[in-house]
Amino acid sequence: MSYKLFVGSLAWGTTEDSLKDAFSKVGKVESVAVIKDRNTGRSRGFGFVEMSTEEEGKKAVAELNGKDLDGRQIVVNEARPREDNGGRGNFGGNS
């Protein structure tokens, strides 16, 4: 079963290829996504990496969290499931 990781504090120039290269040194990478702004196409500074096993995912967290990638110290931790806000946006008011 694969293990999905959140990767934060990415440099603006970090690409999916450079992210995959960094994580491939720790284990088998199933997928990589650098999240981009839909209007500008510019990186939003975070992404997700899916490792092939939980063991490799935990190894990636241990070895890569706080390490330098493209001139920035990245944050690596287990991705949490997305919270469903009911499609109401996140603007306060009655929930």
Residue 17, C-beta contacts closer than 8 angstroms, at least 6 positions apart: none
Query: By three-state DSSP, how is residue 62 classified?
Result: helix
One pLDDT digit (tens) per residue for the chain, 95 residues:
899 999 999 999 999 999 999 999 999 999 999 999 999 999 999 999 999 999 999 999 999 999 999 999 999 999 998 776 655 554 444 44
**Residue 91 pLDDT:** 47
* Cα 45 from Cα 62, distance rounded (Å): 21
Please name each of the domains of the chain with its CATH number. 3-78 (3.30.70.330)
